Structure 1
């Protein structure tokens, strides 16, 4: 006999979890309605319904009124901020959806959802139901029994993790029933439950394992060997028992549960369809229909043209052809040669172009019409795939026949993330010409903070859910399994990708024009693809011996810092342990405590920076961390990234990684080498030319962001200083401190420099105080004097904020936009962050546009001259070249001119050129 399953959901907790999961890139409809919480809640709900098919289901809400816990402990949940204002309408949407799903809602003034859910599952347990409580909160572990399990959201939006007795034991090291005792010891910062001060998870878990309950712990205090732990328990006994009471979920709430009301039944499909269409949850609606077994194909006209329906792609009017032999390939090539525009996509068994094998190429010539060419790798791969009788054409044959098509400049090429596909074809001796449009980059230009992957774009702009890659190669998305996929299945998947990309191209091209963003896309982002792909292909050589020696030097330095830190602490401890560091700094040395975290007071970089000057140990810890990071991130790991085929490292440049338009890099990240420190500079010494016939050439914009600010705000004093070629920081110091330029001290210049750069990021007195190590009053005086001296700078800042508040976005001089959806928020912290972005985006974004334009122009010039010199790196405002010695003198003025003229300003733009045996010497 099938056991009955009862599911109950902690609605508010799931909604909050979803809200903050999307906080960096909030979801909104095209009309601007916020949907992060609703989307996350519905996705989790559907996942549970799909996986568990409950017999009974209900939801619980917290009430607005204070609870018995507030009466017991006034500080309970006192540090929680008010609900974000854009979450309030989302809760109403969630309630609408719950109502249409015909699920009963349980809420009772004076009690939290935890208690209602605890009572419900315990009553269901008595009736022999199997129970699932859906919540992100670990507090619920205390409810777990043979019949009650907890379901928590995972890292992915639709991932859930089920906790039973064994899962809790494996993860935490004790049985679920001791969860309240654990919380009594460590506390819960999210609810302001105090716990025992100084006891964290590492101390609490062994105590629980040995003694179980806190009652038993306190009966056996004399058996606790560590004196410091015993003293903490003795001093905080009252808090421990109070915390246990606050953390205990009450399971006898006076509320009536009629399980018949909670029977799982078919919902109001028409109402749900209406809500989901408004929220633009097209794919979720299809999933909902499938879960409820509704076989009807429900269609809804959206904005007169877009259709949402619950059916798979193969029922659409599409024509996807498998090109399985040489004759079909020849026919396809003849067709492609007559095309003006094609979309292409490659399927590979990895992500690194130097290492992958090609499993196939898909090409689309018009919407809903695409072709897939399955390929058989050459060399060692031939035998393997021939034996498996895999359908396909040898990659060498495919490459030779397609070469003329891809290298034909009259045929425009379109991709989703084209840099990768162009690199794949380069390694097959195909050099793509006339790359015209990239749907991923178009999405980035339209809104840098939205998601840019193909599946997301298809759902947003086409109301279409493509075949998921995980359907082919599993949830772990291991690309090496691509050759195990049935060829017809792979054909459908890849051809669909090309087809969807074509349809997105038509939509996104219109959108770029509608928003007047074509210049950013067609002048900057699309042409840059070729430039970056070639830079990645070229790579840069590093000297492994130099890195190895530096690693040894850093090891010695770390040992020296460690010994000195131990001396000042009066004991040896693990400097990398947050808990042990907290004990040394805040308990033993009694330093000022700052931001509170779940495990105690924060010891992150920002918190330690605020403690500078309080004790010598702080400076040493910061230095130790810097050395440790340089060692692990660079000196120990860079040599492992040297490609054995080329002898160089090949970083990957990401065009969509930063909302300002800046490039980022990874594998390795070369944007974060701390050039301002001597140790960071030493790492640059290891970047060397490819051979003795080359040198490293560095071209670096001088104070470009300050020049852009001067050009935008048109402050006469600032502009004049740049026009005269003055040291801008010395000039600023002379004006702010009212002294002659020759009387400016090094300290004055340092302070002026911090203000100059800080202004770009909307720095305030507190920020300047932290940077300069001065009083907040003095910092305010410096900023006030600065604004009196450079009056139009303050106007620029105020106007930037007003523009963003009115338009909803900030933009660069070239027209690149960044949307600021919370610029008018009533939440001060959120609003002030976006105000700082409104000031910074026009400056940093324009600098990003400028260097990208320079890169495109320089790349074209090097190609035209067919130089041996290659551009190999871009790091913020700097370009790095592997420069052939015979070409350097001719190219230096050319590079300088193209950089300085890439995007003219109202003040001179200056690029400094340097040449050396390594990157540091060149810079």
Structure 2
């Protein structure tokens, strides 16, 4: 039986980060009818990265229902110092909810409660039901939920860059357990949420005190025993602030949510609704994902070719071809084409496109003859890269003619890339994936096992 995996996403936090990730390109990201789309676009990219990383069976995206919550009733200035949400982001939030619905992902908000409380309650429900839980947020307050079954992933720079908070990592970073982190917040307060703690008590002092006493309550049981100091004086004077801050910092894990774990089960996406949404927003990249090319002419261009896997058995098909112009691509994993592994190739001859992962076939005739024949023009992505790559196979390429990378540079030398997919995207063809999408990056960079 597959492991049950619950993914809980702080919708407001991720949307906020998505909005500012492309804030400088705000005017560029607009739909045909004038809606800003930078947050929607980046939210989808972040969501894809998160889903790929966590592989959940159940997903819920929690949103704040409004500014008035049980915490503002407790402390009127709670979150009072925050700037108003930019209108350019506010107008995108309903569309993000629409996107989630079309993707088969449940979203939810609860009056008088924050997204944190929904996530805290659902994570507890998931733990009790035997789920492994991942929480994604930019808010470190949620690290108090970390446990043996729950990992809190704090978003950092980049689309899929997160820092995983487990109980062990909490100890490394803050010196306290996830539960004790609430007490730490009670002593130091929270500038972001605009509530005070004890005067002159910062993270280091708060951590040291909680490591020694275990909780705010136990600290105040022994405060009279402390040596006379300014710290002791501040602790005594601000006792009420400390206990109020603890209440404000504590996530309600028993909030009256009306969703069940069954409601969070990941559903199949509604492809037709997604296609309509992407067309409305002008998202050509995502249209390609649901099988709709950027333009009808693109689609017709793709469909007119026959795709074949080239093997030792059928390579003889190329013997009787009299084409004077072919298109060739040599795939490498890495930027240094002098050393990067050769991972495969593709060859377009007439209306047939041959593909293979076996680069040794290139040394076999009639392929070698074709590549070394100066009378047959070869269209390639990067002449220099292709020439060097083939030379490593002891193939002396001739007739290398059209260079797409060079042509792209001549058209626009300020917005160029050595990635075939990225260059295609510059000209609104999203049917070609980027190297990052295919191979990943860093230590996880690899050729996909999927033959596609």
Partner of 1:319: helix, strand, or coil? strand
Say which of 168, 181, 194 aligns to 2:183: 181
2:18 alignment partner in structure 1: 18
2:159 alignment partner in structure 1: 157
Q: How far apart, in 2, do the equivalents of 1:47 and 1:38 lie? A: 14
**Aligned residues of 1:141 and 1:177 also touching (Cα < 8 A):** no
**Aligned residues of 1:182 and 1:208 also touching (Cα < 8 A):** yes
**Shift in Å at residue 186 of structure 1?**
2.6
1:475 alignment partner in structure 2: 442
**Aligned residues of 1:141 and 1:150 also touching (Cα < 8 A):** yes
1:606-685 aligned at under 5 Å gives the runs none
Q: How far apart, in 2, do the equivalents of 1:248 and 1:373 lie? A: 61
Write out per-residue CA displacement over residues 239-275 of structure 1, whole angstroms, 9 at most, x where no aligned residue: 2222111111111212323332322221211101211
1:374 alignment partner in structure 2: 389
Write out per-residue CA displacement over residues 11-35 of structure 1, whole angstroms, 9 at most, x where no aligned residue: 1121112112222333604635322
Say which of 71, 76, 79 aligns to 1:77: 79
**Aligned residues of 1:343 and 1:415 also touching (Cα < 8 A):** no
1:299 alignment partner in structure 2: 292
Write out per-residue CA displacement over residues 564-585 of structure 1, whole angstroms, 9 at most, x where no aligned residue: xxxxxxxxxxxxxxxxxxxxxx
Say which of 406, 409, 415 aligns to 1:414: 406
Match status 1:462 vs 2:428: yes
Q: How far apart, in 2, do the equivalents of 1:225 and 1:391 lie? A: 78
2:328 alignment partner in structure 1: 320
**Aligned residues of 1:300 and 1:308 also touching (Cα < 8 A):** no
Q: How far apart, in 1, do the equivalents of 2:137 and 2:301 lie? A: 31
Partner of 2:173: helix, strand, or coil? helix
Q: How far apart, in 1, do the equivalents of 2:405 and 2:256 lie? A: 67
**Shift in Å at residue 315 of structure 1?**
5.3
Pair 8,330 (structure 1): closer, same or farther in 2 beyond 3 Å: closer
Write out per-residue CA displacement over residues 130-157 of structure 1, whole angstroms, 9 at most, x where no aligned residue: 2222222111111222222223323211
Partner of 1:414: helix, strand, or coil? helix
Partner of 1:255: helix, strand, or coil? coil
Q: How far apart, in 1, do the equivalents of 2:99 and 2:261 lie? A: 20
Q: How far apart, in 1, do the equivalents of 2:440 and 2:19 lie? A: 30
Write out per-residue CA displacement over residues 673-723 of structure 1, whole angstroms, 9 at most, x where no aligned residue: xxxxxxxxxxxxxxxxxxxxxxxxxxxxxxxxxxxxxxxxxxxxxxxxxxx
Write out per-residue CA displacement over residues 375-432 of structure 1, whole angstroms, 9 at most, x where no aligned residue: 77xxxxxxxxxxxxx5246xxx99xx99x999xxxx999366x6xxxxxxxxxxxxxx
Partner of 2:135: helix, strand, or coil? strand
Greater mean deviation of Cα atoms: 18-27 or 60-69: 18-27
1:28 alignment partner in structure 2: 29
Greater share of helix: 1
Pair 309,75 (structure 1): closer, same or farther in 2 beyond 3 Å: farther
**Aligned residues of 1:10 and 1:60 also touching (Cα < 8 A):** yes
Query: C-alpha root-mean-square deviation of aligned residues, in Å?
Result: 4.2
1:377-456 aligned at under 5 Å gives the runs 391-392=393-394, 414=406, 437=410, 439-441=412-414, 443=415, 455-456=421-422
Write out per-residue CA displacement over residues 544-580 of structure 1, whole angstroms, 9 at most, x where no aligned residue: xxxxxxxxxxxxxxxxxxxxxxxxxxxxxxxxxxxxx
Pair 254,473 (structure 1): closer, same or farther in 2 beyond 3 Å: closer
Write out per-residue CA displacement over residues 750-789 of structure 1, whole angstroms, 9 at most, x where no aligned residue: xxxxxxxxxxxxxxxxxxxxxxxxxxxxxxxxxxxxxxxx
**Aligned residues of 1:9 and 1:134 also touching (Cα < 8 A):** yes
1:717-736 aligned at under 5 Å gives the runs none
Number of residue pairs matched?
A: 393
Pair 220,55 (structure 1): closer, same or farther in 2 beyond 3 Å: same
Write out per-residue CA displacement over residues 74-107 of structure 1, whole angstroms, 9 at most, x where no aligned residue: 1111111211111122112111112223433332
Say which of 39, 42, 45 aligns to 1:40: 42
Partner of 2:199: helix, strand, or coil? coil
Given the two structures, how large is their TM-score scaled by the length of structure 2? 0.72
Q: How far apart, in 2, do the equivalents of 1:309 and 1:49 lie? A: 32
Q: How far apart, in 1, do the equivalents of 2:25 and 2:225 lie? A: 52
Pair 214,22 (structure 1): closer, same or farther in 2 beyond 3 Å: farther
2:132 alignment partner in structure 1: 130
1:406-805 aligned at under 5 Å gives the runs 414=406, 437=410, 439-441=412-414, 443=415, 455-456=421-422, 458-464=424-430, 465-468=432-435, 474-475=441-442
Q: How far apart, in 2, do the equivalents of 1:314 and 1:244 lie? A: 66
More relative contact order, 1 or 2 (CA 8 Å, 6+ apart) = 2
Pair 273,160 (structure 1): closer, same or farther in 2 beyond 3 Å: farther
Partner of 1:150: helix, strand, or coil? strand
Pair 172,328 (structure 1): closer, same or farther in 2 beyond 3 Å: farther
1:891 alignment partner in structure 2: none
1:877-916 aligned at under 5 Å gives the runs none
**Aligned residues of 1:469 and 1:477 also touching (Cα < 8 A):** no
1:190 alignment partner in structure 2: 192
Write out per-residue CA displacement over residues 331-359 of structure 1, whole angstroms, 9 at most, x where no aligned residue: 459958xxxxx98747xxxxxxxxxxxxx
Say which of 230, 244, 247 aligns to 2:246: 244
Partner of 1:9: helix, strand, or coil? strand
**Aligned residues of 1:470 and 1:476 also touching (Cα < 8 A):** no
Q: How far apart, in 1, do the equivalents of 2:183 and 2:301 lie? A: 51
Q: How far apart, in 2, do the equivalents of 1:190 and 1:94 lie? A: 25
**Aligned residues of 2:180 and 2:210 also touching (Cα < 8 A):** yes
Write out per-residue CA displacement over residues 865-900 of structure 1, whole angstroms, 9 at most, x where no aligned residue: xxxxxxxxxxxxxxxxxxxxxxxxxxxxxxxxxxxx
